[in-house]
Structure 1
Amino acid sequence: MTLPFLSLLLATVLVVAVLYSSVGHGGASGYIATLALFSVAPAAFKPTALVLNLLVAGVATCVFFRAGHFSWRLLWPFALTSVPCSFVGGYLVLPDHVYKPLVGLVLVASAVRLSCHTQREDTAVKPPPTPVALLVGALLGLLSGLTGVGGGIFLSPLLLLFKWGRVREISAVAAVFILVNSAAGLLGHLSSLQQIPYFVPLLAFAALLGGVIGSYLGSARLPVVGIVKALSMVLMVAGVKMLLV
C-alpha cells in the first residue's frame, strides 16, 4: 500500500467518521464502502470495520450516557441475544462468493435506510415485546458479526417505526448496541485465529478523531438531511460494486 494511497484512505475514513458520528451512527457500513471503493481485499473488511466502529461507537456512547439519554430497559432484550450471535458471526469466515454479495446487500440496504432518514420526536412510546426484541437482536447480532456492521443502522429505524422509544433515547441505545456487538464480533474474529490488517491502527486514529469531531458538530445541528443523502449515494455505489464485481 503506497503512501499516497494510504493517505487518501485515511482522509476518507476521517470524513466518513465525521459524517456518521454527526448523525449518531458508528459508520461501519461507510468504512466497508470505503474499503470496497478503494479495492481493498474483502478479507480486511470485517476486522477493519469492527475496530473502527468500536471506537466511534464508544465516543457516542460516552456522549449519550453523559447527556442522560440511555435506556437500559430498551437495550437489554436486543443486546441479550445480539452479543453472543455477533461473536459467532465474527468467528465464522464466509467464502468470497458468499461474503461479497452479502456485504453488497447490506450496503444497499443501508443506503436505502439512510435515504429515508428522518428526525422525529415521538411522544407516545411503548416497550417492545420481549420475544420480538430477542429475535431481532439475534438476527442483527449475527449480521453484525458476519459482515462487520454494528447493527445500529438497522435497529434504530425499527425502534422509530414501531415507536418503541424516543429519538434521543433510540440514538443512545443504538450507540451502545453498536458498541457491544462490534466488541463481540471482534472477539469472535480474533478467537478464530484471524488477524487484524496492519493498516488498521492508522485508520483507527483517523476514525477516532472523526468520531470526536462529528459528535461535536452533530450537537451543533448540522444539516443532517444533506449529509445522509450523500452517504446513501456512496453506500449505494459501493454496494452495487460488491454485487457486480
Structure 2
Amino acid sequence: MMSWEILLPLCLGMALVAFLYSSVGHAGASGYIAVMALAGLAPQMIKPIALTLNILVAFVTAWNFLRRGHFSWAIFLPFALASVPMAFLGGYLHVADTLLRILIGCVLLYSSFYFLFHPQEPSQIHAPSKPVSCGAGGVLGLLSGMTGTGGGIFLTPLLLLMKWSGTKTAAGISALFILVNSSAGLAGHWLKSPGIPGLVWPMIACVLIGGWTGSFLGSNRFSAPMIKRLLSIVLFVAGLKLIFSR
C-alpha cells in the first residue's frame, strides 16, 4: 500500500497532467507514464493504469470538444478504423522495459519541440486521402498500444505538421482517437494480464476533475498556442527523465 506522502503528490501531478493535456485534446497518457515513473511505480503497473486514466479523460475531453463543433468525421474515421485493431495488437505485445522507456521519452521530446516551434494555425488545410489516413492510422494504433498511450501524442503533431487540420479540430479528432485506441490497447493488455491495480482508484477522481476543467477551458476559452508552449516544457523534462533514468 502506497503511503499518503507519496500518493497525494502523485494524484496532484496526475490532475495537473490531465488539465494541461486535455486543454489541447489529449488525455495525458504520456504524462501519466512520466509521473508514475518518477514516483517509482513498477513498469508492469504503469501501462494498465495509464490506459485506464486515458480512457476516462479522453471521454470527457472528446465530449467537450465535440459539443463545441471542433471535429471532422471525414478525417477521423479512416484513422480510427485502421488504428483500433493495431492498438489491440500493440497492447498484447510485450516490449522490453528499457526500450519502452526510451521510445516514450523520444516521443515526448519530439512532441515538446513540435509544440514549441509550431504553435500557430496551419495557413492552408487539406484533408489526407483515405489510403494515407488508413496507413498512418495503423502505424499510430500500433505505437499507441505498445507504449500505453492513446496515440494522440502522435496524431495531433501529424495532423498539424501535414496541414490536415486546424488546431481545435485536431484536438477534437485526437480526443476521440485516444478514446478508441486506449480502449483497444487496454483490451489487448487484459488478454495477458487481466485486472487493474487498486492504486488507480484515487487517481481516477483527480484526473476526471483535471480533465473536465482543462478540456472545457481549452475548447471554450484557452488559446492552443499558450497551452502548447506550456506542454512543451512539461514534455521536455519528462522525456529527458525517462530516457536517462536507470
Name the TM-score, length of structure 1 as normaliser: 0.90
Q: In the alignment, what sits opposite 1:193?
A: 193
User: CA, structure 1 residues 227+125, in 2 after alignment: closer, same or farther (shift >3 Å)?
Assistant: closer
Which residue of structure 1 aligns with residue 91 of structure 2? 90
Alignment-derived partner of residue 242 in structure 1: 242
Report SS of the residue matched to 2:95: coil
Displacement after TM superposition at 1:168 (Å): 2.7
- 1:13-58 deviation per Cα after TM superposition (whole angstroms, max 9, x unaligned): 1111111112221111111111122222222222121111111110
Deviations 1:175-206 (A, max 9, x none): 11111111110111112234422211211211
Partners of 2:136 and 2:129 in 1: CA distance: 11
* Whole-angstrom distance in 2 between the partners of 1:103 and 1:65: 28
Q: Which amino acid aligns with 1:105?
A: C
Partner residue, 2:183: 183
Question: One-letter code of the match for 2:243?
Answer: L
| Structure 1 residues 158 and 57, CA gap change in structure 2 (3 angstroms) | same
Q: Following superposition of structure 1 onto structure 2, how do residues 54-93 of structure 1 map, counting pairs within 5 Å?
A: 54-93=55-94
How far apart are the structure 2 equivalents of 1:118 and 1:230?
Answer: 11
Identify the residue that residue 169 of structure 2 maps to in structure 1: 169
Quote the RMSD (CA, aligned, Å).
2.0
Quick check: 1:113 aligned with 2:106?
Answer: no
Contact map agreement 2:80 2:177 (CA 8 A) in 1: yes
**Corresponding position of 1:13:** 14
Q: Which runs of 5+ in 2 are unaligned?
A: none
Whole-angstrom distance in 2 between the partners of 1:45 and 1:111: 22
Sort the Cα spacing of 1:24 and 1:97 in 2 relative to 1 into closer, same or farther, 3 A.
closer
Change over 3 Å in CA distance of 1:197–1:134 after alignment to 2: same
Count of paired positions: 244
Deviations 1:46-97 (A, max 9, x none): 2121111111110121122222332211111111111101011111122223
Unpaired runs of 5+ residues, structure 1, are none
Which range moved further: 159-168 or 50-59?
Answer: 159-168
1:107-151 CA-to-partner distances (Å, cap 9, x unmatched) read: 2223223323414165x4322122221111111111100111111
Displacement of 1:155:
1.2
1:34 corresponds in structure 2 to 35
Q: 2:149 maps to what in 1?
A: 149
With the length of structure 2 as denominator, give the TM-score of the two structures. 0.90
Q: Which moved more, 1:212-221 or 1:83-92?
A: 212-221
State the alpha-carbon separation in 2 of the partners of residues 75 and 217 from structure 1: 23
Q: Secondary structure at the match of 2:91?
A: helix
1:69–1:169 Cα contact (<8 Å) kept: yes
Cross-structure match for 1:130: 130
Q: Report if the CA contact (8 A) 1:29-1:110 is conserved.
A: no
Deviates more, 1:133-142 or 1:210-219: 210-219
Post-superposition shift, 1:170?
1.9
In the alignment, the residues of structure 2 paired with residue 223 and residue 68 of structure 1 have an alpha-carbon distance, to the nearest angstrom, of 16
Question: Which letter does structure 2 place at the counterpart of 1:73?
Answer: A
CA contact (8 A) 2:82 2:135 kept: yes
